[in-house]
Amino acid sequence: ANPNFVRCEGVNILDLSHLSTSALTSDTMDVIKIAGKISDFYPETLHCMLILNAPSFFAMSWTVIKKFIDPRTAARIQVFSNAKRGMARMRELIDDSQIPANYGGGGPSVESVLLREASKSSSLGTALLKQEYDLMHIRRKGGKAHHTFQLNPNETLEIRVYTRSVSSAKFVVNLSKGGEQTVLKQVLVRGLLSTNPDSQTNSPNEGTESNDSYVSLDPMAYPTEKLISHNIKGPGTIIIDAIDQDDVNHAKWHGQSRGYFLIVGNYSR
């Protein structure tokens, strides 16, 4: 045995604050399963996963839910509905200097870390001022979802979308300013099982950009990422319309995620 060997184990934290019953879908459970998969690829490196601020309906359903999770993973998951007990358990496992500030620790806040990392890959070429997130859900075939960004004077906005949706969606970027609304851009974000020939080629639709990045149904793979728009100058209101293209290959679709798109707005000055 190597006397200098140091064994490392990780602690995963999943905060379910504001989780509603409507959001408790197979996609939500995939987050837990994927996080637990670390133990499959790196045996004995996952010490445990703490699920904090679990709503009462989740805690009561956990005995049923965990039957659908690998027993080795389920044994490492601890669920806390009581915030104080969850925080106390986290402090037993993690040094205070490593706990984010917004959880009462001495480390940087989760938001500041995300902002710092996003600044490295942003097309804006400068440190980001703030970020805004929204999980847009197009609830029916051919349906729509909307999100609004408010730009102040001297602010610049970059918009990115991340998804594992099997169907495509067209994103329309509208600028509302001085009582007038102008379409700035239309971008087609390709679905994983899209049957739309336009979304499966590198040639964009007329007036519409499409993403040609490789996509995978592997739940461990990175989601599709698309830069929707960048360098939008304020002031003004940016209205995003996401429109389902209803182009999923139903012969291959077996209940995979559909209609969920994480939209991220990166602000700078």
The per-residue pLDDT for range 115-152, each reduced to its tens digit, is 999 998 888 888 899 999 998 999 888 899 999 999 99
70, with CB counted inside 10 A (0-12, 13-18, 19+), is middle
Positive or negative, the CA dihedral 79, 82, 87, 89 is negative
**Angle at 52 (CA atoms; ends 20, 261), nearest 5 degrees:** 45
Reduced to 3 states (helix: H, G, I; strand: E, B; else coil), residue 263 is strand
Bridge partner list, 105: none
Cβ neighbours of residue 78 closer than 8 Å, sequence gap 6 or more: 48, 49, 50, 51, 89
Q: Beta strands 156-163 and 260-268: pairing type?
A: antiparallel
User: What pLDDT was estimated at residue 239?
Assistant: 97
User: What pLDDT was estimated at residue 205?
Assistant: 36
**Which residue would you say has higher pLDDT here, 200 or 4?**
4
Tokens of 110: 């989760």
pTM: 0.75
The mean pLDDT of the chain is 83
Q: Is the pLDDT of residue 250 over 70?
A: no
Q: Is the pLDDT of residue 254 over 70?
A: no
Residue 90: its H or E element: helix 83-93
CA distance 103 to 96: 10
